[in-house]
A and B are shown apart, each in its own frame.
Chain A
Amino acid sequence: MTAATPGGGIDRRATRESPAPPGSGPLALTLFLMALTMFFAASVVGFLLIRARQPEWPPAGSPPLPGGLWLATLVLLAGSAAVQAALGAIRRGSQRGLRLGLAAALALTVLFLGLQAANWSTLASEGLTPGANLFGFAFYMLTGLHAAHVVGGLVVLVLVTAKAFRGGYSAGYHPGVRSATVYTHFLTVVWFVMFGVVFLI
């Protein structure tokens, strides 16, 4: 299980600077996503409770939600597919497929954020700002929290893509690609829940 280090010390971790034992990263990611699940669940429940108290939802005179949200949804889904393709590629050992998939996912994520910014500015120009009323606040709260986490994912995706282009991953070693994939899918699922709550209920 363990090997003695030259200094006679034990080796359940070679050094503090070395990576944690196998499986630590995925477990920590799972725990982190559990925390995020509670975070988004609380915000969606908050949205529904705020909404339940309002006599009219959306309030009279609110502009319709922009159709760009549907486009953003498609782009997000495509981003998930791209990063999944990248993971599949590196599992087969294809560096080219990995880079292509990650570059596409990166572009799609940036496009999604751009579309969301456009959606917000459309709504704001029609008078629905976060401070306008509870409807506006609740809408911006949900989409804003989601977008903030997409930005966080973008940072990870940039690092992973950069490492992929340096040839840092192989068929047998690609924890960063796996983590980025899981996180991207997670945010896509969160978006579908939010989209359903805002549009369909």
Chain B
Amino acid sequence: MATIDHTMPGTARPGPARQANYLNASHGLLSWLTTLDHKRIGVLYLVSTLTAFFLGGVFALLVRTELLTPTQTIMGPDTYNKMFTLHGAVMVFLFIIPSIPGAIGNFVLPIMLGAKDVAFPRLNLLSWYLYIIGALWAVASIIMGGVDTGWTFYTPYSTTTNTAVISMTFGVFILGFSSILTGVNFITTVHKLRPVEMDWFKMPLLLWALYSTAVIQILATPVLGVTMLLLIAERALGIGIFDPALGGDPILYQHFFWFYSHPAVYIMILPAMGVISEIIPVFSRKHIFGYRFIAYSSVAIAIFGFLVWAHHMFTSGMSPMATMIFSALTFSVAIPSAVKVFNWLATMYGGSIQLKTPMLWAVGFIFVFGIGGLTGLFLGALTTDVHLHDTYFIVAHFHYVMMGGSVFALIGGLFYWWPKMFGRMVEERWAQIGFWLSFVGFNVTFFSQFVLGSRGMPRRYFNYLPEFQGLHQLSTYGSYVLAIGLGLSAVALLHSLFAGRPAPDNPWGAASLEWSTSSPPPTDNFSSEPVAGDPYDYNELAWDRSVQGYVRKG
């Protein structure tokens, strides 16, 4: 090698990456697999859920590619049914539900509280192992020939098809335990490890969001457990609980399923809203607007979320009175969601906005979540839902909320906390190009599906009328752009691990406690007892050129 000394001026002194931290405290695979450190468990969750995201994404691209032509393109109809089922099941149960609480929540929650760890570190590790076991069962069903029921496992088809439904639903059953244990751990941690000076209304809003999420995880997930057990029992014993041919009631399954799975939608979006509530004020250099409203709206969404499940079933033949009540309740959920959006916008108003990558994803979130939320009103209204039910309109709607909402927030949060997690700054330029490609690709993919759906294209169809081909092709090309954008974002993140500038303690000028410790944090999180103040007061922070980060004044 001709050049030996590549040392840059910034790395000549002992930078943060060279200090003892949770990453270099011990080495070897075993030290990770037996760790009790919430930060390492968060990283384990991050790696495993992103692997699931990649897997689900591959299924999605295969589905979109198949839909390039009105008839068979690259796979037969049976394979296609399995592809969209696996896409949905993997994305929902293996990726979105565990991702933000498991990865970002585990990493950030105790540090935000100034604590050393969660209340029950062993239980925390157990919940990751349960996630892995459940995920392996689900993946086993793919090897056993896949599942072709759609991710909702609707009966009676799911009890009569000869695909690997039992393996997949048993995996979902196990994943539920993981979710419940994480919820128990987070609520106990927030109650018992919160410092005395941090009352409920001085907590960062992400903690309110994770707390509300945990309530849903604890109260709704057991119902999914019973549902999956009944489904498995019906398949194994041939008993007609849900199959009308055997005297059962398929609508009962739908009630059970959505009693969990609608609240589960809020398990997916509430932590995302919490992430956005952290990013927006930091990059607007302005105190969060309407703290209490955002905090209470998380709780309100958690409560309302339990009362609206039957809006997935308006066309199933419920009584008109029941559909009207559920429709009205559905509209009421729009209120706390809108409260959050308006408070984020009011926070940005008059701020000095810095469009760094995390902020781009956060602003992108508000845009796509706005569309996702507003199109939900057409589906909540009985008259329009009858027309739009089971069309691409609903596919577009929930992708705007789940992908444009939850996933945008996850990626934004990842870029935001990445310097804290791994002690490296991400190259802004490539990350920003990654965002813009993802943003454009996402909207091309799914906005065209709104149009498809409102023109009558049913969801999940293998063949379609030639008149829909143009919009289907547009959607597919959009999904390729989206995949490139996400790939570029992943490259930007991974590149930083090897070539990124060492991160200062506080690169963004945030005031919550995780930014007052080193990047990455030491194993015990803080070298001295942190004092919690207002997590959104940025007046005491000033840019320091020498560390390329923010420091406390004076």
Q: Please give the distance in Å from A129's CB to the nearest CB on chain B.
A: 9
A64 contacts the other chain (CB 8 A): no
B527 at the interface (CB under 8 A from A): yes
B4 within 8 A of A: no
Contact with A along B25-38 (1 / 0, CB 8 A): 00000000000110
Proximity bits, B227-262, A CB within 8 Å = 1, else 0: 101100100011111000001110010001001000
**B119 CB-CB contact with A under 8 Å:** yes
Interface size, chain B (Cβ < 8 Å): 51
Minimum CB–CB distance for B248 against chain A, Å: 8
Instruction: Verify B222–A24 contact, CB threshold 8 A.
Output: no
Which residues of chain A are within 8 angstroms of B241 by Cβ–Cβ distance? 46, 50, 134, 137
Stretch from A36-44, A104-112, A179-187 forming part of the interface with B: A36-44
Contact B222 A46 (CB under 8 A): no
Q: Chain A residue with minimal CB distance to B185?
A: A28
Q: Which of A4, A15, A46, A133 has the most chain B CB within a 10 Å cutoff?
A: A46
Do A12 and B195 have beta carbons less than 8 Å apart?
A: yes
- Residues B524 and A28 in contact, CB atoms below 8 Å apart: no
- Least distance between B119 CB and chain A CB atoms (Å): 4
Q: Does A49 contact B (CB under 8 A)?
A: yes
- B333 proximity list for chain A (CB < 8 A): none
The answer to whether B237 and A131 have CB atoms under 8 Å apart is yes
CA distance A130 to B238 in the complex (A): 10
Taking A35-B219, A131-B237, A137-B237 as contacts, is the C-beta distance between A10 and B120 under 8 angstroms?
A: no
**Does B526 interact with chain A (Cβ within 8 Å)?**
yes
Instruction: Say which size band chain A's interface belongs to.
Output: 35 or more
User: Is A10 within 8 A of B223, CB to CB?
Assistant: no
Interchain CA distance A12-B117 in the complex, whole Å: 9
Q: How far is the CB of B498 from chain A (nearest CB, A)?
A: 30
Identify B188's interface contact among A17, A31, A141, CB under 8 A: A31
Contacts of B191 in A (CB 8 A): 23-24, 27
Q: What is the bound-complex CA distance between A137 and B526, given in angstroms?
A: 55
* Centre residue among B121, B222, B230, B259 by max chain A CB count within 10 A: B222
Does residue B552 face the partner (Cβ distance < 8 Å to A)?
Answer: no
* A residues in contact (CB < 8 Å) with B: 1-2, 4, 7-10, 12-13, 15-17, 20-21, 23-24, 27-28, 31-32, 34-36, 38-39, 42-43, 46, 49-50, 53-54, 130-131, 133-134, 137, 141
The 9 closest A-B pairs by CB, nearest first: A39-B222, A131-B237, A38-B222, A20-B119, A10-B529, A42-B226, A16-B36, A9-B524, A42-B223
